[in-house]
Structure 1
Amino acid sequence: MRLILRFGGIAILVAAIVILAVLPFATSFVEQWSRRDVELRSRLVFSTARDQVVELLAHNDSAQVEKLFERIATDERVLAIGYCEGQQLRFQTKNMPSFFSCAQAAQSDGESSFTIREQGGNTLISAFPLNVNGRAGHLVVLHDMSFVERRGTQARSSILLALAGVALGAAALVATIALLIMRRWVASIRQAMENARTGTPTPSVDEDLPAIGKEIHDVLQELDATRRTIEAAHTDWNPETLRATLSNELSGSEVIVVSNREPYIHNRTEDGIVLQIPASGLVAALEPVTRACGGTWIAHGSGTADRESVDAYDRVAVPPDNPSYTLRRVWLTEEEQEGYYYGAANEGLWPLCHIAFVRPAFRESDWRMYRAVNEKFAEAVVAEAKREDPVILVQDYHFALLPRMIRERLPRATIVTFWHIPWPNAETFGICPWREEIVDGLLGSSILGFHTQAHCNHFLDAVDTYVESRIDRERDSVTYGGEETLIRPYPISIEWPPTALAGQKSIEECRHAVRQRLGLPPDMRIGVGIERFDYTKGIIDRMQVIDNLFTEYPEWKGRFVFVQVAAPTRSKLASYRQLQEEAEALARDINTRHGTEGYEPIKLLIRHHGPDQVFELFRAADICVVSSLHDGMNLVAKEFVAARDDESGVLILSAFAGASRELSEALIVNPYNAHAMGEAFNRALTMPPEEQRERMRLMRDQVRERNVYRWAGQMLLAASRLRKRLRIRRLIAAGRRRASANA
């Protein structure tokens, strides 16, 4: 119905334009025709009265001249008649207007006509030359032209009514034709949907509209296949499932991953070039996914030997032992790294998004560099894209502006952005000087993912507060600039089973190896904490809890050691350097006060540990502590659970880490409450093996089912469904255009 009204409206609009264009010409025609008619009448009057006027003027019979003029002036169209001799008006009728002057008639020696507009009306003056007794003069006839305006108004009204009737008739005809076409088109779509629902094959046809119905039928079948894939793979997500899903749902699609951190780093050492896998939750989550789906990973090349390890196009095939995807490195200058990474990202956005009571630093120079680096990565994406509609996975807070930049260059791309850190509430986010630009950049995404629904809600509140948009709370979507962005929670996870678990020894062998390496007796209980040196991880608070534990439960002295692994990170930033120095000083103080000769309660290991070493520590530990002050998810908690195939060990988990929403069987703690955390330590160390197994079994089931392949699969399937919906919309739009053309 809307389309029919549109067709009818267009027909009426066209008719209105025609009427507006025709009316001025019609009015002009009426005026010209009326003027010619009056001029003809004046000439007829002159021809009829000329001889009589000449004779009366020759005899200077003024009385008869005036009678003759008055008789002629009785014509309703004639306003007045007069005779000019030179520039003197000798004879005139009583209605001769005061504005008339013989000087106007004397300007021409021959016959002439001109119009004078006075007192709101037009008067046509026709002057005819006469020669009386050798004296030149002019007989002038004046006509009132007001009737011309009345005649023009009548003509315009008649033409307007006639054209309006034609326009309405044309609009009705066009609407009727459009209705017939639309009914046929809608019937085709309905039949296609019914065939898709019942599984009936769609017959092949040559006509355009049924062909569109067949295409929509095919797309609906693909959407139904997506649903069946999700149901079939619901409980067993693995690399094969993910590859099969991508093959079915995104067949022929190009997948590009963009992150700041690269999955493999080449560094130059005294022993030559060594390959390092960085300690990054993002890398741990995405690397197995990228191996499963292939494609290209674009990242900053930060290794000292990275340039030596790429080809002429800055690409290297990874993993080295079994290449399955391409790593494309982007080079940043020292100035770019300082402004974009250390400045805007980690002194600005990182503390802004984490409630760790560290004040963000906002510098305009950093933001300019952040924007420039995002532009550089956008250009790299375009250079690597082999299709106009790739699937692009943009990762984390380093690239808040990148989705919009990609959208401007590749408008048909499906952009899935995942924000790996928390999103603050709208009031907190409001202190950011670049809040509108950040929101605009992220809304360039097709799908924007966060770890939890709470983070999604915070983002929607920020959009509602700071930009003009339309928010659909039921669908969790934002329509901005005519484009829709879906906002979804996708809790990130780890691969299952973890690759690092494959080469591990038994639990007892791991315990023996760790105790021997750290110089611990066989009966020593072990707690572990493994993370980067970051103020959001609560390392200082955790050490203070251990101090409190030994004060309130002194029986654990000499029987419990806490191994804190902390990889140095962002050491150029003062807050991170101070954290490391404070942690080292606190560990020395606690070891001095609670340790003895040969016994250190805290083993602080400040260096990078590879995945195999980390899993060995997990398997050797009695408890694992994740006491983040604020964390998007924290994969260390899930890695510990995955490492414990013996179903023993206790996880102490911060309530402010996203993982606490899924691993509710852990001991959930408030990291700011030292006393309560000390109680949790004591409870974990005294927990019966049966309770440990029950809790660990439930958590392992959770991590197994909700692994990283499911996380990636959900996002990619959402991208697939979105692409198919857009394809249906394009088909419908194409059908409408064809219907319009046929009409």
Structure 2
Amino acid sequence: MPTTPTPKDRSHELVVVANRLPVDSRTLPDGATEWVTSPGGLVTAMESVMRTVDSGAWVGWAGSPGEPPAPFEADGMSLYPVRLEQEDVERYYEGYSNATLWPLYHDVIVDPEFHRGWWDSYLATNRRFADSAAPVAAPGGTIWVHDYQLQLVPRMIREKRSDARIGFFNHIPFPSVELFSQLPKRNSILRGLLGADLIGFQRESDSLNFVAAVRKLLGYHVDGLTISVPGVGAAPMREVEVRTFPISIDSSAVSALTEDEEIRERARALRHDLGDPAKVVLGVDRLDYTKGIRHRLKAWGELLDDGLIDPHDTVMIQVATPSRERVEAYRQLRDEVELTVGRINGEHAPLGRPAVSYQHHSFDRREMTALFMAADVVLVTALRDGMNLVAKEYVASRPDLQGVLVLSEFAGAADELRAAVLVNPHDIDELKSAILRALAMPEEEQEEAMRSLRHQVMENDVQSWAHDFLEHLEHAGREAQAAVPVVRLRGDEPSAPEEIDEALRAFADVPRLLIASDFDGVLAPIVEDRDAVQPDAEALGALRDLAEMPGVAVALVSGRALEDLDRHTQMPSSVVLVGSHGAEVGALPPWMQAEVLDRSALSMTPEKEELLATITATLRRIARAHPGTEVETKPTAAVLHTRSARGRGGINATESALEYATTLPDVTVTPGKEVVEFSVVHTSKGVAVDALARASASDAWLYLGDDVTDESVFAEAEEQDVTLKVGGGDTAAALRIADTVAAREVLQRLRKLRGEQG
């Protein structure tokens, strides 16, 4: 596969997020690494879609634990590997994804295991995928997240990129609300998925199950398959659409392989190697307990025991592709299947020919096509399956209109392939009857059924599936795209020093200035104990000096209560203190026009006092349930602090607080770094800085901030203003600096430049 070391562009129109990258690594004889396209329907679908966009990217795990390769390009796609350690593989993937979610979502055929440590790993790994995907999508771009391993990712991306269209497709079934309700953290999963604009499922029943779970467990309003998702606090409500998109295969490519003379000859050779039996019956599955392999072998064994099938005339091939062999349930299944096959062959196989030819390894696409062409009957008897593409591959492999498909009614494919012999695989007698019916089906009846099946499969291929989903997502995401927030910088890289200095020089030349800054994370490093905060004395000194210069107004704008801010900074009256995100304003210098500051919105009414008391009581109940969590009260707000919470208490307390926030449409709720603030007064740092700029009659302002609460200031900046984000993450600020040390240096540099103007 042709590759280049790094993507040329980190701003992509379409970003696919899946557990695995679409390539596998292969070590060459000289030790170099070659990337080979992975087989699979999703890769095929996305290849066709990527050809229609200017720039496409794929975010996923490269397949080996430890340090991932650097981002690279392959076959026209930019690939961004996500790091998974061995512990992540064991806990996030083998644990929570495949020993908790997989069995639960497949009707508890095997009991799911619930371990809190697995959930922690699932949460952290989903965050890693979201952090990798969010920065590489273009403004207003599309991000398509896939499958049950990444159900928290849509919401995590939305928190960073509300401008993007976000889609999610679940490739496996979604369980009934009764089963789903057993899952610890079930509401977190639902809210994670509801970060998407469009959620797709394989079957209509899956869509209905999901909507029922949202209605019952979250209490959200549902109109048909449209879910109204409340905003947090005063944020607007969003509508999330749920739809059914049955996935398919690259049917034309599969069908075309049947014209290859080598494959035709291989199909004939396969039958000859089996002794040229009258009938060949084929099962092709990943070795998974959901696929019904044990039930199928039981039915086959009984047919042989009953003498209804003659092993001299009829042979069964069972291909069982190795799967998740580190998971105990899969190791047990392999042992059981191999014992059953051995027993059947020991009792019924003629000399020189198996009754069941068991193949526990993978076959390439050409070999699989030959197997399908050689098979008179294919058994797809899954106990529960999202779709099952084997059924569609068999149909696509039979342009001769011969062969019979026996298909479980519990596979998603049964909704579309109605001309198959449909069966309940749990009923062994019914399964035996279906096998006998398929073996005895006349050629005319086979042709009639296969013609119908091929029409469905050939007309609805995987490319159509992908384009259909993205077309619906484009419309579903229009509302989100209409409210695209300003994002001027992405990632974590600080701006060039010369760029910062040029901006400071130009700013220092402006006649009347407002210099404003956040406190925690900018002038003082963030610490666990908020009362133990140690501000940078030199940074505060620079601000004091600036405040004494002609034509310069200085303000500190913090989320802390005004009294708390005053106690920790001890600034002179020449520096304006603004607390509680703008809800509290301290004493103003005599030259500042106090009447310009509109304080009417800051007044507390009896109704607001009562609401604040209720919020405070609720947050204290949450805090009592999570040791180490604290509630701070302010004149107009209550704040939940989780920085000192023990264990996973901080995450759980924040989840509870944000869930509570959706019930408070008239309250401004601001999540920050290990903090959630509930304010009954509608204000923001952006409003406060704008008012201060007017009150000081400044010609331009500069603002330093590090948190999401500072984005309201950055977004208001005009061309002459200077905005500096301290730390990483997407931001509306025009410049980025690394840390509090860099913030001090900016203020000192500004003091020097302004002093030179005097």
TM-score (norm. length: structure 2): 0.59
Note the 1:181-196 alignment, pairs <5 A: none
Q: Using a 3 Å threshold, how does the CA distance of structure 1 residues 328 and 501 change in structure 2: closer, same or farther?
A: farther
Note the 1:158-197 alignment, pairs <5 A: none
In structure 1, C-alpha distance between the alignment counterparts of 2:318 and 2:28, rounded to whole Å: 26
- The alignment status of 1:487 with 2:242, answered yes or no, reads yes
Q: Secondary structure at the match of 2:357?
A: strand
Report % sequence identity: 36
Kept in 2: contact 1:268–1:304 (CA 8 A) = no
Displacement of 1:463 in angstroms is 0.6
Q: Secondary structure at the match of 2:239?
A: strand
Q: Using a 3 Å threshold, how does the CA distance of structure 1 residues 729 and 391 change in structure 2: closer, same or farther?
A: closer
In structure 2, C-alpha distance between the alignment counterparts of 1:605 and 1:614, rounded to whole Å: 12
Amino acid at match of 1:437: S
Q: Using a 3 Å threshold, how does the CA distance of structure 1 residues 587 and 269 change in structure 2: closer, same or farther?
A: farther
The correspondence for 1:470, drawn from 221, 229, 244, is 221
In structure 1, C-alpha distance between the alignment counterparts of 2:254 and 2:73, rounded to whole Å: 22
Displacement of 1:479 in angstroms is 2.6
Displacement of 1:571 in angstroms is 0.7
Q: Which residue number corresponds to residue 505 of structure 1?
A: 260
Displacement of 1:552 in angstroms is 3.2
Kept in 1: contact 2:172–2:385 (CA 8 A) = yes
- The alignment status of 1:580 with 2:341, answered yes or no, reads no
The correspondence for 1:496, drawn from 251, 259, 283, is 251
- The alignment status of 1:407 with 2:164, answered yes or no, reads no
Amino acid at match of 1:431: Q
Amino acid at match of 1:490: F
The correspondence for 2:71, drawn from 307, 314, 336, is 314
Displacement of 1:276 in angstroms is 5.5
In structure 2, C-alpha distance between the alignment counterparts of 1:491 and 1:342, rounded to whole Å: 26
Note the 1:621-700 alignment, pairs <5 A: 621-700=375-454
TM-score (norm. length: structure 1): 0.60
In structure 2, C-alpha distance between the alignment counterparts of 1:729 and 1:326, rounded to whole Å: 28
Displacement of 1:694 in angstroms is 0.8
- The alignment status of 1:373 with 2:125, answered yes or no, reads yes
Q: Which residue number corresponds to residue 454 of structure 1?
A: 205
Q: Which residue number corresponds to residue 608 of structure 1?
A: 362
Displacement of 1:522 in angstroms is 2.6
Displacement of 1:491 in angstroms is 0.8
Q: Secondary structure at the match of 2:19?
A: coil
Amino acid at match of 2:192: G
Deviations 1:527-581 (A, max 9, x none): 1111211100011111111112223344432111111111111111100011011
Q: Using a 3 Å threshold, how does the CA distance of structure 1 residues 305 and 364 change in structure 2: closer, same or farther?
A: closer
Q: Using a 3 Å threshold, how does the CA distance of structure 1 residues 305 and 375 change in structure 2: closer, same or farther?
A: closer
Q: Of Structure 1 and Structure 2, which has the larger fraction of its residues in helix? A: 1
- The alignment status of 1:342 with 2:103, answered yes or no, reads no
Q: Which residue number corresponds to residue 262 of structure 1?
A: 21
The correspondence for 2:475, drawn from 714, 718, 721, is 721
Q: Secondary structure at the match of 1:526?
A: strand
Displacement of 1:674 in angstroms is 1.4
Deviations 1:473-520 (A, max 9, x none): 2x533333222110111111112312574375358524213235xx21
Displacement of 1:704 in angstroms is 1.5
Kept in 2: contact 1:259–1:298 (CA 8 A) = yes
Amino acid at match of 1:643: S
Deviations 1:227-281 (A, max 9, x none): xxxxxxxxxxxxxxxxxxxxxxxxx971111111332211348797676555655
Amino acid at match of 1:389: G
In structure 1, C-alpha distance between the alignment counterparts of 2:185 and 2:66, rounded to whole Å: 35
- The alignment status of 1:398 with 2:155, answered yes or no, reads no
Q: Give 1 or 2 for the bigger CA radius of gyration.
A: 1
Note the 1:202-351 alignment, pairs <5 A: 254-268=13-27, 278=38, 280=40, 282-283=42-43, 285-290=45-50, 293=53, 295-303=56-64, 313-317=70-74, 323-351=75-103
In structure 2, C-alpha distance between the alignment counterparts of 1:304 and 1:398, rounded to whole Å: 16
Kept in 1: contact 2:65–2:84 (CA 8 A) = no
Amino acid at match of 2:328: A
Q: Using a 3 Å threshold, how does the CA distance of structure 1 residues 325 and 513 change in structure 2: closer, same or farther?
A: farther
Q: Secondary structure at the match of 1:336?
A: helix
Q: Secondary structure at the match of 1:390?
A: strand
Q: Using a 3 Å threshold, how does the CA distance of structure 1 residues 654 and 283 change in structure 2: closer, same or farther?
A: farther
Kept in 1: contact 2:162–2:484 (CA 8 A) = no
Q: Which residue number corresponds to residue 171 of structure 2?
A: 420
Q: Secondary structure at the match of 1:648?
A: coil
Amino acid at match of 2:111: R
Amino acid at match of 1:511: A
Kept in 2: contact 1:624–1:651 (CA 8 A) = yes
Kept in 2: contact 1:265–1:303 (CA 8 A) = no
In structure 1, C-alpha distance between the alignment counterparts of 2:90 and 2:350, rounded to whole Å: 44
In structure 2, C-alpha distance between the alignment counterparts of 1:528 and 1:292, rounded to whole Å: 38
Q: Secondary structure at the match of 1:576?
A: helix
In structure 2, C-alpha distance between the alignment counterparts of 1:601 and 1:277, rounded to whole Å: 36
Q: Using a 3 Å threshold, how does the CA distance of structure 1 residues 523 and 619 change in structure 2: closer, same or farther?
A: same
Q: Secondary structure at the match of 1:360?
A: coil
Q: Secondary structure at the match of 2:134?
A: helix
Displacement of 1:689 in angstroms is 1.0
Kept in 1: contact 2:143–2:165 (CA 8 A) = yes
Deviations 1:59-80 (A, max 9, x none): xxxxxxxxxxxxxxxxxxxxxx
Any stretches of 5+ residues in structure 1 without a counterpart? 1-251, 318-322, 732-743
Q: Using a 3 Å threshold, how does the CA distance of structure 1 residues 508 and 410 change in structure 2: closer, same or farther?
A: closer
In structure 2, C-alpha distance between the alignment counterparts of 1:457 and 1:555, rounded to whole Å: 42
Q: Secondary structure at the match of 1:388?
A: strand
In structure 1, C-alpha distance between the alignment counterparts of 2:481 and 2:51, rounded to whole Å: 28
Displacement of 1:417 in angstroms is 0.1
Kept in 1: contact 2:311–2:350 (CA 8 A) = no
Q: Using a 3 Å threshold, how does the CA distance of structure 1 residues 305 and 666 change in structure 2: closer, same or farther?
A: farther
In structure 1, C-alpha distance between the alignment counterparts of 2:182 and 2:340, rounded to whole Å: 34
- The alignment status of 1:565 with 2:322, answered yes or no, reads no
Kept in 2: contact 1:478–1:487 (CA 8 A) = no
Q: Using a 3 Å threshold, how does the CA distance of structure 1 residues 269 and 586 change in structure 2: closer, same or farther?
A: farther
In structure 2, C-alpha distance between the alignment counterparts of 1:599 and 1:410, rounded to whole Å: 61
Q: Using a 3 Å threshold, how does the CA distance of structure 1 residues 594 and 290 change in structure 2: closer, same or farther?
A: farther
Q: Secondary structure at the match of 1:607?
A: coil
Amino acid at match of 2:322: P
In structure 1, C-alpha distance between the alignment counterparts of 2:51 and 2:375, rounded to whole Å: 30
Q: What is the RMSD of the two structures over their aligned residues, measured on CA atoms?
A: 2.5
Q: Which residue number corresponds to residue 459 of structure 2?
A: 705
Kept in 2: contact 1:543–1:587 (CA 8 A) = yes
Amino acid at match of 2:460: R
Amino acid at match of 1:420: H
Comparing 276-285 and 646-655, the one that deviates more:
276-285
In structure 2, C-alpha distance between the alignment counterparts of 1:447 and 1:609, rounded to whole Å: 35
Q: Using a 3 Å threshold, how does the CA distance of structure 1 residues 491 and 610 change in structure 2: closer, same or farther?
A: same
Kept in 2: contact 1:501–1:615 (CA 8 A) = no
Any stretches of 5+ residues in structure 2 without a counterpart? 1-10, 232-236, 486-758
